[in-house]
Amino acid sequence: MSDPFDHDDEVFGAFAQLVRWRRDIRAFRPDPVDEATLRQCLELAHLAPSVGLSQPWRFVRVRDRERLERVIASFERANAEALAATDEEDRALYARLKLEGLRDAPVQMAVFSDEQTTSGRKLGARTMPQTRAYSVVCAIHTLWLALRARGLGLGWVSILEPEAVHAACDAPQAWRFIAWLCIGHPEPAANETPELQRKGWERRLPLDEVLKTL
Amino acid sequence: MSDPFDHDDEVFGAFAQLVRWRRDIRAFRPDPVDEATLRQCLELAHLAPSVGLSQPWRFVRVRDRERLERVIASFERANAEALAATDEEDRALYARLKLEGLRDAPVQMAVFSDEQTTSGRKLGARTMPQTRAYSVVCAIHTLWLALRARGLGLGWVSILEPEAVHAACDAPQAWRFIAWLCIGHPEPAANETPELQRKGWERRLPLDEVLKTL
């Protein structure tokens, strides 16, 4: 079988563009997300790498208003604590950042890792069981890029209390909470610069600061 | 600014192809990897999402033979234990699987998460500090797809003792070991089916087994 990508600059170019224009989205237009498009993106996420082919990702879409309110309340507690713990000179800037789309995005989804899945029969996960959670992250990142390619946006909310989200979703004991995802049509439009950089919170590091050879 | 991807089927199609043809590679040709190509792929990985724009990924390329031998010895211990712990009816199949390219791949790299980075000033990581490790996984998955688009292969080795790899790399105390990566030209050629499925270890799950709505 010949390799479809060897020397194929178009595929690399498209992927590079996707990576450069992916953003964490916190503001959404109220328009609904096309269900077939969402499904198509989840189908791709489901092809992500996983330790021992264990596919431990579990996606829980939350439409129930009462459950979502419990997640929003968890964000509000966690964010108030984060604000209080932030250095005084950063606090006013922190308070101005919009950090989630929990009330705006038309699709809200929790993602868990099934820590007791029998798929993969523990291959690769005995000395590093955390690779199950890492597999789930690969699926989320695949979903993120797929949605981006479809003109949709994803925001990953981590300012949450994992136990509160776990309870709000009635998740099985064996599941570990990995991420809360807000999905919809992004507002404002596309940007090549991360929002936290535009707002003066942090900047990109030079690559050589994170690379070394031994 | 208009969105470059809205209704752009070509970018989605290229990305979908990349996701479908990505494999975990364990057998490599001995040909060296072009350094400019590797650098270009690392530049894309460095644009991955990270909690609070903390960019906690630290890539350590290991060329030193003595350090690599310590990592290989760690794999051999961890793999012998994994074989012994595998159910008897699976053991012969497990023993036949080739699970790493530690001696074959021309590029060997450890990836760590800097748990004490000041970048991002802890934004998003207070209630969920594990999101730093998850950010590193996003960078690794970006690198994986970028290399794939260039006709190169990556294998993620997790059958390792994290402390042994940490020590072999003289990594700072604050760094957490995330993954060992083997990178090179894949042998055999491209395949749309995961190796663990072809060899009868595990199969893909139907998407609806991992999706639900509340």
Q: At what angle do helices B131-149 and B9-21 cross, to 10 degrees?
A: 100
Q: Give the mutation candidate from B31, B33, B118, B158 for the A interface (greatest A CB count, under 10 A).
A: B158
Distance from chain centroid for Cα A181: 6
Which pLDDT score, from 0 to 100, does residue B206 have? 87
pLDDT at B190 over 80: no
Report, as an integer, the average pLDDT of B148-166: 97
ipTM of this complex: 0.94
Contact B60, B112 (CB under 8 A): yes
Cα dist. B12→A146, B177, B191 in Å?
7, 33, 20
Q: How far apart are CA B186 and CA B154, in angstroms?
A: 8
Give the integer Cα–Cα distance in Å for A190 and A87. 31
Find the CB nearest A12 among B119, B138, B149: B149
Q: What pLDDT, on the 0 to 100 scale, is given for residue A1?
A: 44
Q: Please list every residue in chain B whose beta carbon sits closer than 8 Å to the beta carbon of residue A179.
A: 134
Predicted confidence band at A2 (pLDDT cuts at 50, 70, 90)?
Answer: low
Topology of domain B24-188 in CATH is NADH Oxidase (3.40.109)
What integer is the mean pLDDT of B34-57?
A: 96
A138 CB-side CA count, 13 A: 26
Local structure of A109: helix, strand or coil: strand
DSSP bridge pairs for A176: A113
pLDDT over 50 (residue B186): yes
Nearest CA-CA distance, residue B173 and chain A, Å: 16
Mean model confidence pLDDT for chain A? 93
Res. A180: pLDDT tops 60: yes
pLDDT of residue B7: 55
pLDDT digits (tens, 9 = 90+) for B66-125: 999 999 999 999 999 999 999 999 999 999 999 999 999 999 999 999 999 998 888 888
Partner-chain contact B48 A141, CB within 8 Å: yes
Asked if A54 lies within 8 A of B202 by C-beta distance, the reply is: yes
Q: How many CA atoms lie within 13 A of B59 on its CB side?
A: 24
Q: Is A126 on the interface with B (CB under 8 A)?
A: yes
pLDDT exceeds cutoff 90 at A205 = no
User: How does pLDDT run across B119-144, given as a tens digit for each residue?
Assistant: 888 888 899 999 999 999 999 999 99
Distance from CA of A32 to the nearest CA of B (A): 15
pLDDT digits (tens, 9 = 90+) for A80-139: 999 999 999 999 999 999 999 999 999 999 999 999 999 888 888 899 999 999 999 999
Averaged pLDDT score across all residues of chain B = 93
Contact status of B35 with chain A (Cβ, < 8 Å):
no
Q: Domain coordinates of chain A in residue numbers?
A: 24-187
Say if CB B154 and CB B104 are below 8 A apart.
no
Partner residue opposite A67 with nearest CB, options B60, B120, B214 = B214
pLDDT at B4: 60
Closest by CA position to B17, among listed A148, A139, A3, A54: A3
**By three-state DSSP, how is residue B115 classified?**
coil
Pick the CATH number of A24-187 from 3.40.109.10, 2.40.160.40, 3.40.30.10, 2.60.120.10: 3.40.109.10
A52's tokens: 């021992």
Alpha-carbon gap: B150 to the closest alpha carbon of chain A (Å): 6
The band of A4, judged by pLDDT with boundaries at 50, 70 and 90, is low
Task: Note which residues in 54-73 of chain B have CB less than 8 A from chain A.
Answer: 54-55, 57-64, 67
Cβ contact, residue pair A1, B205, below 8 Å:
no
Q: What is the pLDDT of residues A131-161, one digit of tens each?
A: 999 999 999 999 999 999 999 999 999 999 9
B193 touches chain A (CB under 8 A): no
Nearest to B17 by CA among A213, A11, A195: A11
Take residue B197 and report the two structure tokens written for it.
């499925």
Query: Residue B15: in which H helix or E strand, if any?
Result: helix B9-21
The CA dihedral of A45, A48, A50, A56, to the nearest 10 degrees, is: 10
A82: chain B residues, CB-CB within 8 Å: 122-123, 126-127
